[in-house]
Chains A and B, each alone.
Chain A
């Protein structure tokens, strides 16, 4: 199975600070058709996950534009430009290029 390594595991930020989360894959996530099936989710405390970013860099429905995704191949980044209090929770990357779909171990964002 593809292993996704997220760093850091914990992140502490002040309101307004910009932060980045890295997701590195054990295999390239580019498929033979030129698609990269890499996604980002946020799980707020006590809630189910919600989709933030799909196909590396596309914003999910209703997701604020302070969230952005980038990357290619095996290295991907989620950036939050100006953290807000509601952004606290655990962020997961997920790949669906290779079966089975696999998730990273998560990055917990704490607000200082």
Chain B
């Protein structure tokens, strides 16, 4: 059974950093590109970033370029999202999702950016 479990969310002040993790199991992690998708409170879904199966290529939405870094550790079957210079508008639930069309999702981890 495919499982994705995010962790690392919480309350953080504007301008500070936070690192999210996503532990994957139930499939061959290093065969799949992986993504982060976010959802602001009571809002819709927004793609954040994607990383290729081997980590060699990364892609970001414009609003997070230069502030967020997606990475992965295939030996640990874990996906990461390093979020720097956080803004209030980054407040959202962050989901880890498999592939380019998100066939499996984790339960999400909430990030609140507030002073």
Contacts and interface: CB of A to CB of B under 8 A. Distances in A.
Interface string A35-70: 001010101000111110010000011000000000
A76 interface: no
A89 interface: no
Interface string B70-94: 0000000000000000000000000
B32 interface: no
Interface in B19-57: 44-47
Nearest to B49: A100
A11 B108 CA distance: 26
Given A49-B102, A51-B103, A100 B47 contact: yes
B103 A61 contact: yes
A102 to B, nearest CB: 7
Given A48-B108, A100-B61, A39 B44 contact: no
Interface stretch (A15-23, A24-32, A91-99): A91-99
B101 A51 contact: yes
A5 interface: no
Among A41, A47, A100, the most chain B Cβ lie within 10 Å of the Cβ of A100
B59 to A, nearest CB: 7
B101 A103 contact: no
A76 to B, nearest CB: 14
B68 interface: no
Contacts of A51: 101-104
Among all A-B residue pairs, the 8 with the closest Cβ atoms: A48-B105, A103-B45, A101-B47, A51-B103, A105-B44, A39-B101, A100-B61, A106-B44
Given A48-B95, A94-B45, A100-B59, 6 more contacts: A41-B45, A47-B107, A94-B102, A102-B47, A103-B47, A104-B44
